[in-house]
Structure 1
Amino acid sequence: MVFEDLMNYLGSLGGDPVIYCIFLFIYVILAAVILPLPVEIALFLSAGTPFFVKALIISLGKMIGGVIAFQIGGALEGVIKRYTKWKWFNYIYKACYWLVSKFGYVGLYLILSIPFMSDTVPLYLFSLFKDESHMTVRGFAITCFLAGFTRSIIVYVAATFFGIQLYDAPQGTEFMLI
């Protein structure tokens, strides 16, 4: 219900791309830090905002949210590890640990590049393993940015394949941003 209301509100901002972009940026940061919700649905809203701009905002928001999660993840280690008693959470925990220990930033990039998946849990889990994998804030930030952009591109390609246009260019424009 809350997710639907938020998406409807974001959709209503489509008439003003600047306000839409500001709200999108804040929403993406919150989705990375505290809201276990996918943000790619926002690519389908505000047809007046060029796709590239929305993809860039999503990437920057994921980067900033990722850095916040990276910084506070260690403080939440005890709380997060308590949830490993749940079988499904323990499976995710072990899978993330394996990805980090085996592939480092590439593992983080792969898991964060999956469209329509929540980033909140993987970001905090990966931040727990930063010492074992020698991850830095800078590397974490760059990885989150690239994964956010990759997710946007995957959604764009899939939408185009199914005939869904994510940006309606104004009539008579010579130059069009995707």
Structure 2
Amino acid sequence: MDAFVIPLATDLLGFEWLTRLVRTATGWVGLAIIFVYSFLIAFALPGVSEVVLLAPLNLGLSTEARLAIIILVSAVGKAAGSVFAFHIGQEAKESGPVIRWLRRSRFDVIEWSERRTVDVARRWGYAGLAVALSVPFFPDTLSIYAFAVLEEDYVRFAAATFVGSVGRLLVTLALGAGVVAVL
């Protein structure tokens, strides 16, 4: 379902231009585009972050160095965006009307995300967040917000998001290399 919903939501909300911009980002300015995209993916955009690996960039570096820079810039952007989401989550936690409205909503996002996130947090803590964010092609905004509402440590949260973002892109590269090797 997510394979259909995410692109549809992206098209309907008008964010497809940003995804196209990332896919065609080139030069050092492309790194700024990747940072902004990764920042927005962490708390606002419905897309997936793996698209940054497709940025051509043309930095005059080896493929490995180019990918390392893309991964680093993307992870820093997503960590920064997650801290912003974390702050919003902390504010929402204090806002009774917001939580009441979400609990009464048709989908009861709070109950579902709390249940799943509490399970992950109890079992693995911030390492669980990092692992959850390492799953390729899974929208991570919900995990970030759910953790943001339940946790209180900005630094650990940012570190877990950074590690999870790097892990996600490395897993994606490994899966891509595995597919290429099989072909």
Q: TM-score, normalised by structure 2?
A: 0.76
Structure 1 residue 136 corresponds to structure 2 residue 146: no
> Is the Cα contact below 8 Å between 1:36 and 1:121 reproduced in 2?
no
Distance in 1 separating the partners of 2:112 and 2:37: 28
- Counterparts of 1:104 and 1:13, CA distance in 2: 36
Q: Are 2:67 and 1:55 aligned?
A: no
Q: 2:45 aligns with which of 35, 49, 56?
A: 35
Deviation at 1:81, TM superposition (A): 6.0
Partner of residue 81, structure 2: 65
> Where in structure 1 are there 5+ consecutive unaligned residues?
165-178
1:71-110 matches, cutoff 5 A: 71-77=87-93, 78=96, 79=98, 82-84=101-103, 85-87=105-107, 89=109, 90-110=111-131
Which structure shows the higher helix fraction? 2
CA distance in 2, matches of 1:80, 1:116: 28
Q: Give the Å deviation of 1:102.
A: 2.7
> Which letter maps to 1:98?
D
Among all aligned residue pairs of Structure 1 and Structure 2, give the percentage whose two residues are the same amino acid: 25
When the two chains are superposed, the root-mean-square deviation of aligned CA atoms in Å is 2.2
After TM superposition, the score normalised by the length of structure 1 is: 0.78
Matched, 1:161 2:182: no
Compute the displacement of 1:60 (Å).
0.7
Aligned length: 158
Contact (CA 8 Å) 1:34, 1:120: kept in 2 or not?
A: yes
More relative contact order, 1 or 2 (CA 8 Å, 6+ apart): 1
Does residue 10 in structure 1 map to residue 22 in structure 2? yes
